[in-house]
A and B are shown apart, each in its own frame.
Chain A
C-alpha cells in the first residue's frame, strides 16, 4: 500500500470522511486543554505579567503559518511531477488557512507588542518577514481566483509556489540584513521557546498539537469541498450535453 493510492479522489474522500470527525474532536480537545491550562493555570511570568499567555495562540499560529506554505510547496511539486488532482486541491485548500494563521500571528503579535515593547508594530525582521509571507499568500490566492480552467490554474499557481518559496526564503534573510543595518542587533526578537519554562511549555505543546489538528481538519474539509464542487460541475456539464 503506497501513499499514492490516496491520490485517487474516491479513496481520499473515503479516508478523510472517516478520520475527519476524529481529527476535529481531537483538535477541540487539545485546544481546550492547552488554552484553558495555559490561560488559567499557569503562573504569571516575572517580566511579562499575564501577557505571556498570548503565547498559546501566537506561537502555534506562527508555526503553522510557515508550515502551511511548506505544505503548499510540496503539494504543488507533487502536482507538477505526478499530476494528482488531489494534490493540487490540497495546495489550494491550504492557502487561505495559512493566510489566516499568518494574520493571527501578526495580530496577536501586535497585541502582545503593545504592553511589551510599547508599540503595536516594529519593523523587526520577524514581523516584517511575516508581513511578506502574508503578501505571498494573497498573490497565490489571487492567481487561483483569476484563472477559470482548473488544470491551468493548478499549473500556474504551482509555478508561483515554487518561485515564491525561493524568494520568500531569500526575503527572510534579506530582511535580516536590512534591519541589522538599521538597529544594531535586533534586540526585540524573541527566542521564546528556548526561554520558556516547563510550566508554560507543556500547555504550549498541547496548543501546538491542537493547532496542528485544527489545520489538518480545515485543509481536509476544504479539499473535500473542492472535490465535491468539481464533481457537481462535472455532473452539470454532463446534464447540459
Chain B
C-alpha cells in the first residue's frame, strides 16, 4: 500500500512541478473550445447543438496531448527498469501511472468543462450529465492512452504514431460520452448511454493495465 502511495505521489509531484503539467492540458482544452465558434460561426442555437460533441472531442484531444510523457521520461533515464524490478507488479504500476495521469489531466477537464459549456450555450439540463459523463469517461481515456504510450515508448518522435494508435480506441467512449450529454440536452433518457459509457470504462480499467504492461516488458527485454 505504501509503495502504491509512494509511486502515486511521485507521479503527481512530477506532473505538477515539471513545466506546466496539468495546466497545459487545461489551456489546450480552452483553446480548442474557443476555436470552434471561430470555425462554425457565433450562432447560439448551432453552438448549443454541437456543444456536447465539441466539449468531448476537446477533452479527448487534451488528454492525448500529455500521453507521450507517461512512460517516456522514466524509460529514458532507467527509472522504469528499476520500477519493473521492484516487487510491485508492472500492471499495478501502469494502473497507478494512468490514474495519476487522469488526476492531472482528466480531472481538471471535468471541473473546467461546465464553465466552457456556458460559452458554447450548452442547454441547462445538460450540465450535470456533462460533468458526470466526463468524470466517468475520462479515466478510460487515460487508461487507453497508457496502451498507446507503452507501445510507442522507445520510438523516436512517436507522438503522431501514438495519436494514430490511440484515437481509434477512443471511439466507443466518445460516442457514449457525447451521447449522454446530447440526450440530456434534448431531454431524452440518458441512462442507456451512461451505462454503456460506464461499461466501456470498467472494461478498459480491467484490461488495459495488462496490455500496457505486456508492451512495456517487450520494450525492456
Contacts and interface: CB of A to CB of B under 8 A. Distances in A.
A183 B57 CA distance: 22
A174 B155 contact: no
Contacts of A147: 154-155
A117 interface: no
A174 B168 contact: no
B176 interface: yes
The 8 A-B residue pairs with the shortest CB-CB distance in the complex, in nearest-first order? A174-B172, A155-B218, A174-B175, A178-B175, A171-B171, A139-B165, A170-B172, A139-B164
A175 interface: yes
Contact of B175 (A152, A160, A177): A177
B131 to A, nearest CB: 21
For the complex, would chain A's binding face be called helix, strand, loop or mixed by DSSP majority? Answer: helix
B214 A159 contact: yes
Given A177-B179, A178-B179, A143 B172 contact: no
A192 B154 CA distance: 46
A162 interface: yes
B67 interface: no
Contacts of B175: 174-175, 177-178
- Bin the interface of chain B by size: 20 to 34
Contacts of A155: 215, 218
A138 B196 contact: no
A138 B215 CA distance: 19
Contact of B221 (A146, A152, A175): A152
A220 interface: no
Interface in A20-50: none
Given A132-B168, A139-B168, A177-B175, A152 B214 contact: no
B118 interface: no
A118 interface: no
Interface string A144-161: 001100001001100110
A159 B51 CA distance: 35
Nearest to A155: B218
A99 B193 CA distance: 31
Nearest to A175: B175
Given A159-B215, A170-B200, A143 B161 contact: yes
Given A139-B164, A155-B218, A178-B179, A167 B155 contact: no
Contact of A143 (B154, B165, B176, B182): B165
Interface string B179-211: 100110000000011001000100100011001
A196 interface: no
A78 B192 CA distance: 37
26 contacts: A132-B168, A135-B164, A135-B168, A139-B161, A142-B165, A143-B161, A147-B155, A152-B221, A155-B215, A156-B151, A159-B211, A159-B218, A162-B211, A163-B169, A164-B168, A164-B169, A167-B172, A168-B168, A170-B203, A174-B175, A174-B196, A174-B200, A175-B175, A177-B175, A177-B196, A178-B179
